[in-house]
């Protein structure tokens, strides 16, 4: 069985920082990441630009943003705060710039630059990285940890750093695996509770549709013209905008991206029908009811309450007979049915939607070292901790800080 000074489970920002810092101290470090690549979530943060931190160099000013958790974080942030994080990256050629409300981004505008700095640091310090390897359990055996992998093999280590994150963006690998491990080891864990909130829209026409429900739609979130996330399911128009399962499931991400600028949603009313087939369907309907007014005919395709808004968006007079609808108008209508633009104004309960909570109770961790108070030589970092923080660089700074402190003490 392999024996290591420290095994780091999780190749996200906190895990990579912890591994690099520990290895720089001469420790023999092994890092496991279940995805095939490191930092999958890191690469998509901030719309792919990566909000590295927030420019609040004074520790107490920074900690005020973490609300009730500030009393726990002071010791850790006193060791490695905002200035330290910026120095860490700048000294490794990853230069930064400041934008609205103190948000710090890579000068390159690419999250890849942050990823490169961390990966190169691990390579330089000799961290052994194994990707595509999932951990099944972490067990205490005597003074050591035995890490059981999904493939049935085990490794042993003097110390263990758990940095697998919570349950946000599960497609990136954050599926809450670490919670079960922590409970097995005796820790109290609060489940992640990301606010699922309705979305307020700027579009006046949408607010007139309160009560109109759509059972099978697709919503695509865009920022700066780039697709960021997609949700499918039910949607409900309300007096303030939209709600329903598809909207609620997207609200957390909307909250994150609102911090970086305007957000638009594209509503696909026929997600299982390609544009060509939909064009034929619309054409067939108009021909079959050629003498009817288009405002009456479209009620056979979409909810009747939605018809006036759609016709208004494509500038078609609802009194027009179907046989008089021009080809370019038909084309515009088909395009709209696949991409109805919805302009996001904000979230209801935005204060809750833009924070992330859940994880190991901070009372059970010594933040001077990031070591568990219950299990000697177990270190818990990043999103594994139940610490509220707003968007704007605060989540990543928590990762840099806790990762560095853990790496300094394993």
Q: What is the DSSP string of 317-364?
A: -TTSBGGG--HHHHHHHHHHHH-EEEEEEEETTHHHHT----EE-GGG
Give the Cα separation of 25 and 2 in Å (integer): 20
* Helical residues (DSSP H) of 142-196, grouped into ranges: 177-184
Q: Is the pLDDT of residue 19 over 50?
A: yes
Q: Is the pLDDT of residue 172 over 60?
A: no
Which phi and psi (to 5°) does residue 250 adopt? -95, -15
Give the pLDDT band of residue 349 (cuts 50, 70, 90).
Answer: low
Q: How do residues 74-95 score in pLDDT, each as one tens digit? A: 999 999 999 999 999 999 999 9
User: Among residues of the chain, what percentage have pLDDT more than 90?
Assistant: 75
According to DSSP, the residues that pair with 102 across neighbouring strands are: none
Tell me the H-state helices in 142-263: 177-184, 204-207, 245-258
DSSP string computed for 22-36 = HHHTT--EEEEESSS
Pairing of the two strands 359-360 and 241-243 = unpaired
Bigger pLDDT: 398 or 245?
Answer: 398
Radius of gyration over every alpha carbon of the chain, rounded to an integer in angstroms: 25
Calpha distance 317→308 (Å, rounded): 9
Half-sphere exposure of 258 (CA within 13 A, CB side): 22
Q: What per-residue confidence (pLDDT) applies to 44?
A: 84
pLDDT digits (tens, 9 = 90+) for 376-394: 999 999 989 998 776 678 8
d(C-alpha 385, C-alpha 361), whole Å: 7
pLDDT band at 196 (very low <50, low <70, confident <90, very high): low
Handedness of CA 22, 25, 27, 29 (dihedral sign): positive
Q: Distance of alpha carbon 302 from its chain centroid, rounded?
A: 33
Q: Would the pLDDT of 276 be above 50?
A: yes
Higher pLDDT, 184 or 195: 184
What is 42-89 written as a DSSP string?
GGGGGGGT---EE---SHHHHHGGGGGGHHHHHHHHHHS-HHHHHHHH
For range 104-121, the mean pLDDT: 97
Average pLDDT of the chain, as a whole number: 91
Find the mean pLDDT for residues 90-102.
93
pLDDT, residue 14, reads 97
* Residue 292 pLDDT greater than 80, yes or no: yes
Please report the domains of the chain, with CATH numbers, ordered by start residue.
2-193+356-409 (3.50.50.60), 199-347 (1.10.8.100)
> What pLDDT score was predicted for residue 111?
95
Sign of CA dihedral 405, 112, 385, 97: positive
Asked whether the predicted pLDDT for residue 169 surpasses 70, the reply is: no
Which of these ranges, 133-142, 242-251, 309-318, 363-372, has the smallest mean pLDDT? 242-251
The structure tokens 């974080």 sit at 73
Q: Which range has the worst mean pLDDT, 40-49, 316-325, 360-369?
A: 40-49
CA distance 330 to 386: 53
pLDDT band for position 249 (50/70/90)?
Answer: confident
Instruction: Label the pairing between strands 199-201 and 189-190.
Output: unpaired
Please give the average per-residue pLDDT across 331-355, as a whole number. 80
Asked if pLDDT for residue 193 goes beyond 60, the answer is no
pLDDT interval class at 166 (50, 70, 90): low
pLDDT score, position 353: 38
pLDDT score of 170 = 47
Provide the CA 121 distance to its chain's centre, in angstroms.
25
Residue 285's pLDDT is what?
94
Rounded to whole angstroms, the Cα distance separating 140 from 337 reads: 57
Mean pLDDT of 269-290: 95
């Amino acid at each position: 069985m392999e024996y290591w000074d420290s095994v780091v489970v999780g190749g996200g920002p906190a895990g990579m920082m912890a591994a690099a810092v520990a290895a720089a101290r001469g420790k023999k470090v092994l890092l496991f990441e279940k995805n095939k690549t490191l930092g999958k979530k890191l690469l998509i943060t901030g719309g792919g630009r990566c909000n590295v931190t927030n420019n609040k160099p004074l520790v107490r000013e920074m900690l005020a943003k973490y609300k009730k958790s500030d009393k726990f974080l002071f010791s850790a942030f006193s060791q490695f705060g905002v200035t330290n994080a910026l120095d860490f990256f700048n000294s490794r050629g990853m230069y930064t710039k400041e934008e609205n409300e103190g948000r710090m981004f890579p000068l390159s505008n690419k999250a890849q630059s942050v990823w490169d700095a961390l990966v190169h640091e691990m390579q330089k310090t000799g961290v052994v990285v194994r990707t595509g390897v999932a951990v099944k359990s972490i067990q205490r055996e005597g003074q050591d940890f035995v890490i059981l992998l999904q493939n049935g093999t085990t490794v042993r280590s003097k110390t263990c750093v758990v940095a697998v994150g919570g349950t946000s963006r599960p497609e990136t690998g954050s599926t809450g695996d670490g919670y079960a491990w922590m409970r097995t080891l005796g820790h109290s864990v609060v489940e992640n509770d990301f606010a699922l909130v309705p979305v307020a829209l700027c579009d006046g026409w949408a607010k007139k549709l309160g009560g109109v429900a759509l059972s099978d739609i697709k919503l695509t979130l865009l920022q700066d013209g780039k697709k960021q996330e997609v949700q499918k399911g039910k949607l409900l128009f309300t007096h303030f905008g939209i709600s329903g399962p598809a909207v609620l499931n997207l609200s957390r991400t909307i909250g994150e991206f609102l911090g970086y600028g305007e957000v638009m949603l594209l509503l696909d009313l026929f997600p299982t029908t390609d544009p060509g087939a939909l064009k034929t369907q619309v054409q067939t309907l108009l021909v079959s009811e050629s003498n009817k007014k288009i405002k009456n005919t479209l009620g056979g395709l979409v909810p009747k309450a939605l018809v006036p808004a759609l016709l208004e968006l494509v500038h078609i007079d609802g009194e027009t007979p179907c046989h008089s609808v021009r080809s370019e108008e038909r084309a515009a209508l088909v395009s709209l049915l696949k991409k109805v633009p919805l302009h996001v104004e904000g979230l209801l309960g935005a204060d809750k939607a833009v924070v992330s909570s859940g994880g190991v109770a901070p009372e059970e961790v010594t933040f001077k070292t990031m070591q568990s108070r219950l299990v000697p030589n177990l270190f818990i970092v990043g999103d594994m901790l139940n610490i509220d923080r707003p968007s704007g660089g605060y989540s990543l700074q928590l990762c840099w800080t806790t990762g560095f402190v853990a790496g300094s003490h394993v």
